Amino acid sequence: MKKILCCVFALAAVAALTLLGIVIFAADEGKYRLLDDTSFERETAGKLAFVDFFADWCEPCVEFEPIFAEASRQVREGFFVKVDIDASKKTSEQFGVELIPYIVAVRDGKIVSEYRGDRTVENYTAWCREELKRHGN
């Protein structure tokens, strides 16, 4: 019962912070941000951003979540961002999101690479590191 109450409290806190637009998901020392139509351009400007376009109702998105979180821990020099397609329709349309999860590297408002590898921590972190070498941060 105690674990359930902790989970409910944590979800309520995340929901409240999301409404305020200040959610940063932290996982140990790694972190990623949940951005929306009003914050995406500003927060990613001048950076190579690893973006996961997702939806809460998408099972493959839910399965990719822990991989994305672990990559944000392991690739500390990376800037990791999640965009909820239901809450951020303008940004999703701007990047032509048709299927989710849509996992890309973005720089200066343009997709520089799409992730098409196996959805494992090892493969995704290797891809992120390679993109950092190619496009800098």
**Cα–Cα distance measured from residue 28 to residue 73, given in angstroms and rounded to the nearest whole number:** 7
Strand partners, 20: none
Q: What's the one-letter identity of residue 46?
A: G
Reduced to 3 states (helix: H, G, I; strand: E, B; else coil), residue 97 is: coil
The runs of H, that is alpha helices, within the chain are 2-20, 40-44, 59-74, 89-94, 121-135
6 noted as active-site residue: no
Catalytic residue among 6, 7, 58, 128: 58
Active-site annotation, residues:
58, 61
